[in-house]
Amino acid sequence: MSFNTFGRIFRFTTWGESHGPAIGAVVDGCPPGIALSEADIQPFLDKRRPGTSRFTTQRQEPDQVRILSGVFEGRTTGTPISLMIDNVDQRSKDYSEVAQAYRPGHADYAYDAKYGFRDYRGGGRSSARETAMRVAAGAIARLVIPGVAIRAWVEAIGGDAVDPAQFDAGEIDRNPFFCPDADAAKRWEALIDAARKAGSSLGAVVACEAIGVPAGWGAPLYAKLDSELAAACMSINAVKGVEIGDGFGAAMLSGEANADAMRPGSHGAPEFLANHAGGIAGGIATGQPVRIRTAFKPTSSILTPVPTIDRSGAATEIRTKGRHDPCVGIRGVPVVEAMVALVLADQMLLHRAQCG
Q: How far is CA 63 from CA 22, 60, 174, 293, 332, in A?
A: 10, 9, 22, 27, 16
Residue (155 or 171) nearer to a copy of itself, CB: 155
Residue (139 or 157) nearer to a copy of itself, CB: 157
- Which residue among 167, 276, 322, 323 contacts a copy of itself (CB under 8 A)? 276
Residue (4 or 53) nearer to a copy of itself, CB: 4
Going by the DSSP 8-state scheme, the letter that residue 69 receives in this structure is S
Taking the C-alpha atoms of residue 61 and residue 38, their distance in angstroms, rounded to an integer, is 17
Shortest distance (Å) from residue 353 CB to a copy of itself: 4
Taking the C-alpha atoms of residue 30 and residue 142, their distance in angstroms, rounded to an integer, is 11
Taking the C-alpha atoms of residue 139 and residue 83, their distance in angstroms, rounded to an integer, is 11
Residue (170 or 312) nearer to a copy of itself, CB: 312
The angle at the Cα of 335, spanning 293 to 108, to the nearest 5 degrees, equals: 95
* Number of Cβ within a 10 Å radius of residue 119: 18
Please work out the total of residues on this chain that contact a copy of itself, with binding judged by CB under 8 A. 154
CB 153, CB 180: distance < 8 Å: yes
Give the CA-trace dihedral at 56, 62, 67, 68, to 10 degrees: -120
Phi-psi category of residue 145: left, alpha or beta, with phi > 0 → left and psi -120 to 50 → alpha: beta
Shortest distance (Å) from residue 82 CB to a copy of itself: 4
Please tell me whether 298 is known to bind a ligand.
yes
Is residue 255 within a helix (H) or strand (E), and if so which, with residue range?
A: helix 255-258
Taking the C-alpha atoms of residue 42 and residue 57, their distance in angstroms, rounded to an integer, is 19
Residue 118 interacts with a copy of itself (CB under 8 A): yes or no: yes
- Contacts (CB under 8 A) with a copy of itself, residues 176-195: 195
Q: Which stretch binds a copy of itself (CB under 8 A): 43-51, 52-60, 163-171, 282-290?
A: 282-290
Please tell me whether 18 is known to bind a ligand.
no
Shortest distance (Å) from residue 241 CB to a copy of itself: 4
- Contacts (CB under 8 A) with a copy of itself, residues 2-41: 2-9, 11, 13-17, 20-24, 26, 28-33
- Which residue among 68, 88, 149, 190 contacts a copy of itself (CB under 8 A)? 68
CB 219, CB 283: distance < 8 Å: yes
Please tell me whether 297 is known to bind a ligand.
yes
The angle at the Cα of 10, spanning 8 to 16, to the nearest 5 degrees, equals: 95
Please tell me whether 282 is known to bind a ligand.
yes
38-48 and 131-144 are packed helices; what angle lies between their axes, rounded to 10 degrees?
130
User: Under 8 Å CB-to-CB from 274, ≥6 apart: which residues?
Assistant: 259, 260, 261
Residue 169 interacts with a copy of itself (CB under 8 A): yes or no: no
- Contacts (CB under 8 A) with a copy of itself, residues 72-91: 72, 75, 77-82
Please tell me whether 50 is known to bind a ligand.
no
Taking the C-alpha atoms of residue 344 and residue 356, their distance in angstroms, rounded to an integer, is 16
Shortest distance (Å) from residue 62 CB to a copy of itself: 18
- Contacts (CB under 8 A) with a copy of itself, residues 201-230: 201-205, 214-224, 226-230
- Contacts (CB under 8 A) with a copy of itself, residues 241-270: 241-264, 268, 270
Residue 280 interacts with a copy of itself (CB under 8 A): yes or no: yes
CB 185, CB 179: distance < 8 Å: yes
- Contacts (CB under 8 A) with a copy of itself, residues 287-346: 287, 295-302, 304, 306-309, 313-315, 329
Convert residues 129-148 into a mask of x (bound to a copy of itself by CB under 8 A) and - (unbound). Answer: -x------------------
Please tell me whether 8 is known to bind a ligand.
no
Binding-site residues for NADP(+), in ranges, read 48, 54
Binding-site residues for FMN, in ranges, read 125-127, 237-238, 282, 297-301, 323
